[in-house]
Amino acid sequence: MNVRIPLLTSHLLLLTALMPSPAGAQSKDRALEHARKLLRSTPLIDGHNDLPWAIRESEKAPRDVAAYDLRTRTTGHTDLSRMAQGQVGAQFWSIYIPGEIKDSGYAKVQLEQFDIARRVIALYPDRLALALTADDIERSFKRGRVASLLGMEGGHAIENSLGALRSYYDLGARYMTLTHNVTLDWADAALDSTRHNGLTEFGREVVREMNRLGMLVDLSHVSPATMSDALDVTEAPVIFSHSSARALTDHPRNVPDSILARLPKNGGVVMVTFVPAFVSPEVAAWEAQAKEQENAIKEAVPDTVDQKRRFEEWKATHPRPTATLRQVADNIEHVRKVAGSDHVGIGSDFDGIDTVPEGLEDVSKFPELFAELIRRGWSDSDLKKLAGQNLLRAMRAAEATAARLQKTREPSTKTIEQLDGKGTSVSGKEKA
């Protein structure tokens, strides 16, 4: 440039540049730059995103994959441009189905969710690529595609059938949460009644068959007793695709320290989630109170319109607290402290949550979380493990376990009746 800056002005500019930046703004940018650079070199693998269900339930065009155009800005937390901004390297798309649908059959809805997720992946071949193995994740990352994996949410989907489990593996499922929010015939859920005090014998057989297939056993949503039983029986690393630390927020969906302490031996990964009520004790307490209030109103007021109005009034005078990015970082640090840096990952639950932590509003914000950890002194090595190296290691171990087991073990044909004595107990009753 030929523009001459008067001497005095140039000195002032120099002085300004040398002065410490106000409120650490400069260090923030430096940490963010650092985070962005790091996430270009190692895939960020997110454990849980509910986009397929958001598409199914979309108000404008339910189940219409093309209408829910990821090339434009969506009303949800996820689209292609924000994923690129958030430097998402791989995504486990949740193929969730509610455990509460009893009459229409789980298989139909589960298959439809596979179909939606696989059509989303196929629709954007320049941006997404189906991934079935850890190698696939790394290959897609190198080609600049978001490696897209499928994770089943809720063992109710297999309807007590190991044959169904195997078929879902063949359709691409690479993890399954043993339960969702409903306790099953073979496993207790975190948010439902205790029926078995963990896993039944058939539940253990489900874990063994998942090991043989190479499907990751996902312990998000199960009760601590189920977590413990699964850790006893599994021969491969487990994951928690979207859970946080119970020591920090006493929510039943979180992982207790006693379980975190078992992860080094198992090799598993807790993918810390952003769900506000799981990372903020204030939000958890508010939600519990709101639920109580809602129930009390339902008992006291017969009319449903009045019920709604009364509840809205209560909420207006009891505003919901907000979780923060710092609280998510606290959870990540707690898991690292108790389980170790080899056992922590990230599982946002974007598009599966109504509210988000301040600072983690959508999929574009992941680098901000890494910047926060960089400011807290995390090493590049630990940050890479958190981003995805831990998940890759666990997945490779699960694949190796499957290869080993398939040499000696046939597909299990055991039934829940054989293993848990359902039916035999009925005839026993008749005799008594």
Q: Which residues are catalytic?
A: 48, 50, 153, 180, 221, 242, 349
Cβ burial, residue 112 (10 Å; 0-12/13-18/19+): middle
Cβ(133)–Cβ(169) below 8 Å = no
Gap between the Cα atoms of 316 and 318, Å rounded: 6
Cβ(386)–Cβ(346) below 8 Å = yes
Rounded to the nearest 10 degrees, how much is the dihedral formed by the CA atoms of 42, 149, 129, 133? 70
Gap between the Cα atoms of 95 and 113, Å rounded: 6
End-to-end C-alpha distance for the chain, whole angstroms: 99
Gap between the Cα atoms of 10 and 21, Å rounded: 18
Cα–Cα nearest to 322, from 363, 366, 277? 277
Going by their DSSP bridges, the two strands 128-130 and 146-153 should be labelled as parallel
